[in-house]
Copies of this chain bind each other. A is one copy, B any other.
Amino acid sequence: MAAHDGAILDAALRLLATAGYGGMTIDAVAAEAGVSKATVYLRWPTKADLATAALAHVRETGGTRVTGDLRRDLAAILGAMRRNIRRLSATGIIGMCLAEERAAPELLALFRERSIAPRRAELRALLDAARDRGELRDGADLDTAVDLLMGAHHARYMAGGPFPRGWEERVVSGVLDGLLPTA
């Protein structure tokens, strides 16, 4: 209704990502959104509600087109994921969800539902299709493959160095080809 909603949620999300839950003060949100604190409380009754709403407000961009080329499609998803994480400062958001898991499990649950699950489903669908086309080895462990694809970004970020050139393709190759000699 009022146009302030979006500004408030954006500000909240930004603060959540950069300053954590503790750093997301209502004062700061209100100031950044250009409204008074009471205006924030008019919409969300508590700080926790605001945080949850901000998380639910995340809109990820860049749906990828499926081409049927497994390597290319998987890499496209990884690329979109990486860009979204950077754009939204999502490492901070993820950290906040994990850090608050004990105190506010709904944050992590929401993040799972909104961000993790859809991406996993996308990856899984690509792999299923490839298997149906006979492109994958018999008995390939697709569940684990999704874990490997999804975890690679976190591992790289946690390692601390830069993402190498062609990171997406290298991850996809790692998962598709494996380390062992063929035959």
Size band of the A side of the interface? 35 or more
Candidates B120, B179, B183; contact of A159 at CB < 8 Å:
B120
Binds B, one of A5-13, A59-67, A95-103: A95-103
Residue of A117, A141, A149, A179 with highest tally of chain B CB at under 10 A: A179
A125 in contact (CB, < 8 A): no
Q: A19-B102, A94-B98, A158-B116 are in contact. Are A178 and B176 (CB under 8 A)?
A: yes
Candidates B103, B144, B176, B183; contact of A171 at CB < 8 Å:
B144
Q: Which residue of B lies closest to A150 (CB)?
A: B155
Q: Are B137 and A147 interface neighbours, CB within 8 A?
A: no
Which residues of chain A have a CB within 8 Å of any CB of chain B? 18-23, 91-92, 94-103, 108-109, 112, 116-117, 120, 127, 135-138, 140-156, 158-160, 164, 170-171, 173-183
